[in-house]
Chain A
Amino acid sequence: MKKNQMTAKHTLSAHNGPDAAFQIVVVAVAVLSFIMVVYPMYFIVIASFSDSTLVNQGQVILLPKGVSLYGYQHIFDNAQIWTGYKNTIFYSVVGTALNMAVTLPAAYVLSRKAFRPRRIIMALFVFTMYFNGGMVPTYMLVKNLGLLNTPWILIVMGALNVFNLIITRTFFENSIPEDLYEAATLDGCSHFRYFSTIVLPLSKAVIAVIMLYYLVGHWNDFFNPLLYINKDSLQPLQIILRNILLSNQAMAGSSGGGASGYAQQFADQIKFGVIIVSTLPVLCVYPFIQKYFEKGVMIGAVKG
């Protein structure tokens, strides 16, 4: 801390007026954006522990007031949420595994310059980023394939994301020296072996990043289940969240007549709690992967 302050002072005094003004503006904007992003999220956290009446009167600003865990208790008693959780975890884990199994080998192949059809295949893939059949034909296709109302559609749909493919391919091209391949093939190494024993271990950064992309995509997916699933037992978390949070099929119903006043008092508390319970897992994964961002996304995205 002290060191930072000293260097800051030093730079300030060494610069002329406009530069000092610049630095002040930078810090002001940075602090402001930080607060604008963090405060609403922090507010949701404290509101989930607080008495809804006090929250709505605007009394909960920095610390929770009227602390109770009623909301969370209610959430954990709710069978729907557990079903949604279970389904979402299944779709996310299996779906992401499939994503990786499809994307990584394909990206490797497309990064091999000796692979002759690579340009035409790449063009075929990229074209789908800008032109697609649209909602209805895709729905009809899924229906014809008999995947409607099966868990498989949520796993298979989006098995390959072309943008992630490009990031990965670019990473392979730029970060893995060609010499390694020459040396490996001289020793009689096959593509399978080279890919699994040399390329993958060297690509942790990009693997972590696209895995996060895919995982978050599955976790937050609302569109595909809305379209392709209407069985209650198969619904993922996002659909159940919508029912609870937006369509106001509030869990108040479960508490019956006499308790409805009590339920109302905590209605918003439950909502805030649901938001946290559903979002926390994703936010927990993110910091672990963040350190790979610079290496992974940036190399892939900028040159891609």
Chain B
Amino acid sequence: MLYLILEQALNGLQYGLMLFLLAAGLTLVFGIMDLINLAHGSLYMIGAFLTAAFFQALQSFFPALLLAILATAAIGVILERLLYRRLQGMNHLSQVLATFALILIANETIKIIFGAQPLMIGMPASLSGAVELVADELYYPAYRLLIIGVGLTVALGLYLLVNRTRVGMWMRAGASNPQMAAVMGVRIKPMFTFVFALGAALCALAGALLGPLLAVSVGMGESILIPAFEVIVIGGIGSMRGALVGALLVGMIDTVGRLVLTFGLKLVVASGTAATLGPTLASMMVSLLMVGVLFFRPQGLFPARG
């Protein structure tokens, strides 16, 4: 049981870090550009599909991943220039609608290009095995360890980027007061483009890494968008630290809660019911956590703007 929980905790860490990749982009775009982007999940889907397409062409995972990240970032730049820049000055309702429209367009376009059937991305052969973490007791898939490693590296990189570099300083300045930052000489517009492209690249990275674990399918962006939103609301919109803490919290509660709740429920109700109810209750606990956080700290755990 202990090792089972440990294994689930690693799964939770992995899920949480993937959520972080999405939430980081979402929170940056919102915090810095004051733009609510429902289509963020679509970039994740596009990233996953591009990875699958490049993988089929190249038959090799990591080059496909790199290409997909670059291509998605490029799509992000185009979108930002054509649409998001225009949306930026609009009210939140218009932003919600326009990005909802983008979701419809993205889903339908993907369906036209790739068909409605889910695609598969093969796992790199070198990583398809399991690593023995505790002798004879705990084997953990190498690929998932890689995801955890990449997630942690990206988290560290983003932290350093935002808090230790000049670009990060501009980003923080732009987030707290874009007009003032512009007056002080920050070139706001190119920075917005950069931030958006960075968000898109992170989406593609998450989509590509999760591709071999999940089926790459139309609408996959929407199912992960809600947890990502919960993460940034819990953490505090615009806060990188908040996104990381929130993502790990959500990942852990969802994954470990699923196991513990299902196990606990089996003591009370029929096991079939418990198997379906456990995951639901775990997902609900995440939402309840969000409600609780908002109730006591309406700006989230780590508010970005004082």
Please determine whether chains A and B interact with each other in the same assembly: no
